[in-house]
């Protein structure tokens, strides 16, 4: 059984967030949380919040045991950019594009053999 949590409309570059996401794939949830706590990147804080939400969904909605959960998949999707006006010389203007992302964290129970 697997469960997930999503965080949408985050002001974050998807490329930078994917570097952090690769560090926790396949790890147990406790190990993944301890890795995310020591990383200095902004993406680590946002992925940590989403992971905590996925863990809470698994425990409260599906009665899964926290000790048997691991990070099955972390997907970072880029949304359309946030467009802002950038004032230039001689009365002109440019568009400044700021990255926006979406984080999906999927946790799954370990299968006992």
Chain segment 81-95, per-residue pLDDT in tens: 999 999 999 999 999
Q: Give the model's pLDDT for residue 64.
A: 92
Q: pLDDT digit string (tens) for 25-76? A: 999 999 999 999 999 999 999 999 999 999 999 999 999 999 999 999 999 9
DSSP character at residue 110: P
- Is the pLDDT at 113 greater than 70, yes or no? no
Convert 4-55 into a string of H (helix), E (strand) and C (coil).
EEEEEEECCCHHHHHHHHHHHCCCEHHHHHHHHHHCCCHHHHHHHHHHHHHH
pLDDT over 70 for what percent of the chain?
Answer: 99
Question: Does residue 112 surpass a pLDDT of 80?
Answer: no
- Check residue 100 and give its pLDDT: 97
Mean pLDDT, rounded, for 101-109? 96
Higher pLDDT, 112 or 48: 48
Domains of the chain: 2-109 (3.90.470.10)
pLDDT of 111 reads 83
């Amino acid at each position: 059984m697997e469960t997930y949590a999503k965080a949408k409309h985050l002001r974050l570059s998807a490329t930078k967030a994917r570097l952090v996401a690769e560090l926790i794939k396949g790890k147990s949830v406790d190990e993944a949380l301890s890795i995310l706590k020591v990383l200095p990147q902004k993406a680590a804080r946002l992925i940590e919040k989403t992971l905590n939400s996925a863990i809470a969904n698994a425990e409260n909605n599906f009665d899964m045991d926290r000790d048997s959960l691991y990070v099955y998949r972390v997907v970072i999707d880029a949304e359309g950019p946030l467009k802002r006006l950038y004032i230039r010389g001689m009365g002109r203007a440019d568009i400044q594009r700021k990255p926006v992302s979406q984080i999906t964290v999927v946790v799954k129970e370990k299968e006992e053999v």
